[in-house]
Structure 1
Amino acid sequence: MTAKQMLSDPQCTGKIKPVGQVSEIWRYPVSSIGGQQCQNVDITETGIVGDRQFGLFDPSTGKTASPENDSRWHPALFLRAIINSAGETYIHFPNGEAYQICHPAIGPELSRYFGFSVAVGRYNNGQWPAAEQLPMITHRYQPSPLHLITSSSRERLSDLLSSKELDVRRFRPNIVLNTGAEPGFLENEWLGHTIHGVGLSMRATEHTKRCGMTMIAQPDIEADVEVLRAIVRNNRRSFGIYCDVVTAGGLDVGTELVLKTSAVRA
């Protein structure tokens, strides 16, 4: 069923309205480092396939990378993780070198890059059995399946900062939704409601509370403490929403999404 068909389907109870088109999709194969922009993805109940399967950690302490509160990890944002067509995850370095995360050289290269001992661990095996050789590590937070932001919220925050445009990489979303000219922090009102694509549905569960990650420099992005300050002052530290997956499916850039609210009873 297409989004337009959903609007006229008598079986779809409740209020349904188009909210925008998917303009960007991102997955982050390795937590806390740069992600991979995708044209289409498969989504299961745990989120985008391949998203946040691995992480960096300090073998001397066992602690996972935390750029938002430990400046030693700030260079992580200048690394980038991608999954190739064979399903293998690679980490790309600023000097142009790239290493498969199971390669024997990845630990020494990461340690040289950061200036202290660093290794790659796994949160789960995912679709790549070769990763079983990596040590299991623990998330420093409870990850949500999907993270969504809208162009309206980005433009509102940009206006508050007197900026031309805010790069979405500051916010590490999975889905960026082009919501047109409708102003304000639109997704604030979507909690508890479902968002539908073609064969995919997700429920907005909570606001995304922001941390120091929004302020850290990245490639072509300068460090800026005012970004977090503006979010705290104007939107109760929230920017974007987290979603649970109700119906698994695929998602493509350009897909129209609709919001379905609960039916109003007399």
Structure 2
Amino acid sequence: MTIGRLKDIIRYPVKSFRGEHVTATTVMKYGLYGDRSHALLDDKRDGKFLTITQCPRMVLYEASFKGTETVEALPWLEVRNPEGRIFAWEEDQLKKELENAAGTSLTFKKYSPEYVPAGAIEEEHILLITDASLAKLEETWGKEKLDAARFRPNIIVSLEDKIPFIEDSWTGRKIKLGGEAVIKIERPCERCMIINVDPQTGEQEPGLLKTVVKERNNCFGMYASVVKTGEITSLDKVEFVPED
């Protein structure tokens, strides 16, 4: 049964930096290729990951891979700061900027293209939202256009039948993305203050989280685990795997 199409594919080469929109990539065992493969560790918090929660300005930094995706090595990573200056990962000036913004000392962390651990990659491998649910939440919120980037999804599904929050009923179902990749919908994503941070300005608007708490029991989007790896591309068909 066809659900819809892949409207958007987003990975986050650096944890808590702005997402990179791609037209094609590989679903790895841990999620999208290179997703959260780079991170910043907070030296003053026993090496815990630095995130938007501690440093909202992180959302204004862009990270993107330049080169071919291979299992041998990650492509070169380009980081662009809010003022448009480009850095290489682990560059001293980038480290100084981020330490000043976060008010702490930091350590750069990089994983391999074949393994990114839980914690860096969030609670599950992939986060999915749908266009119909985003549109309905935007209507409920009643303010300016609701940027999907607030929710940091990996895939946005354009539904054939525009039924808001239909994905809530998918828990336990397996879904095929394109020709090979298969994911299993695990559970709803419980939200935190990060959705209040405007991904374009870094400013906070507490009303959005309040709306999600009131109208959606603090959940929006669905977490999924990877069942089968494979290539995916934008506009690929999204369909249920027949149940046994």
Q: With structure 1 as the length reference, what TM-score do the two structures score? A: 0.80
Once the two structures are overlaid, the 10-residue window that deviates more, 153-162 or 181-190, is 181-190
Q: State the alpha-carbon separation in 1 of the partners of residues 120 and 113 from structure 2.
A: 19
Which of 147, 168, 171 is residue 167 of structure 1 equivalent to? 147
Change (3 A) 1:166 1:60: same
Quote the residue 1:65 is aligned against. 50
Q: Which residue of 2 aligns with 1:53?
A: 37
Q: Report 1:114-125 matches (<5 A).
A: 114-122=102-110, 124-125=111-112
Note closer, same or farther for the CA distance 1:222–1:154 as it changes in structure 2 (3 Å cut).
farther
User: CA 1:137–1:22 in 2, change beyond 3 Å: closer, same or farther?
Assistant: closer
In the other structure, the counterpart of 2:93 is 105
Q: Secondary structure at the match of 1:106?
A: helix
C-alpha separation in 1, matches of 2:162 and 2:117: 42
2: CA distance, partners of 1:157 / 1:223: 18
Are 1:106 and 1:119, in contact at CA under 8 Å, matched by a contact in 2?
Answer: no
Please give the residue correspondences for 1:152-231 in structure 2 after superposition, counting only pairs within 5 Å.
152-163=132-143, 165-180=145-160, 182-197=162-177, 198-219=179-200, 223-231=204-212
Shift of residue 120, structure 1, vs aligned partner: 2.1
What secondary structure, in the 3-state scheme, does the structure 1 residue paired with 2:156 have? strand
What is the alpha-carbon distance in structure 1 between the residues aligned to residue 32 and residue 118 of structure 2?
19
The answer on whether the counterparts of 1:59 and 1:119 sit within 8 Å (CA) in structure 2 is yes
Equivalence map 1:76-115=2 (5 Å): 76-85=58-67, 87-115=75-103
Contact 1:48 1:146 in 2 (8 A): yes
Q: Deviations over 1:172-226 (max 9, x none)?
A: 0000011145222111001100111311111101111111110012215753222
Task: Tell me by how many angstroms 1:260 deviates.
Answer: 3.3
**Which stretches in structure 1 are left out of the alignment for 5+ residues?**
1-16, 129-135
Is 2:229 the partner of 1:239? no
How far off is 1:142 after superposition?
4.9
Q: How far apart are the structure 1 equivalents of 2:176 and 2:128?
A: 13
Give the count of matched residue pairs.
236
1:209 and 1:23, CA in 2 relative to 1: closer, same or farther beyond 3 A? same
| Partner secondary structure for residue 238 of structure 2 | strand
- Label 1:112 to 1:146 Cα distance change in 2 as closer, same or farther (>3 A): same
The letter of the residue matching 1:212 is M
Contact 1:205 1:241 in 2 (8 A): yes
In the alignment, what sits opposite 2:236? 255
Determine the C-alpha separation between the residues in 1 that align with 2:14 and 2:106.
Answer: 13
Unaligned residue ranges in structure 2 (runs of 5+): 69-74
The answer to whether the 8 Å contact 1:22/1:175 transfers is yes
Structure that is richer in strand per residue = 2
TM-score, length basis structure 2: 0.87
The alpha-carbon deviation at position 90 of structure 1 amounts to 2.3
Q: Distance in 2 between matches of 1:174 and 1:24?
A: 8
Percent sequence identity is 22
Instruction: Give the alignment's Cα RMSD to 1 decimal.
Output: 2.5
Q: Distance in 2 between matches of 1:157 and 1:28?
A: 23
CA distance in 1, matches of 2:98, 2:203: 23
Measure the CA separation in 1 of the matches of 2:120 and 2:186: 20
Instruction: Give, as a single letter, the amino acid of the residue that structure 2 aligns with 1:215.
Output: N
Cα–Cα, structure 1 residues 55 and 137, in superposed 2: closer, same or farther, change >3 Å? farther
Q: Which has the larger Rg?
A: 1
**What letter matches 1:252 in structure 2?**
T
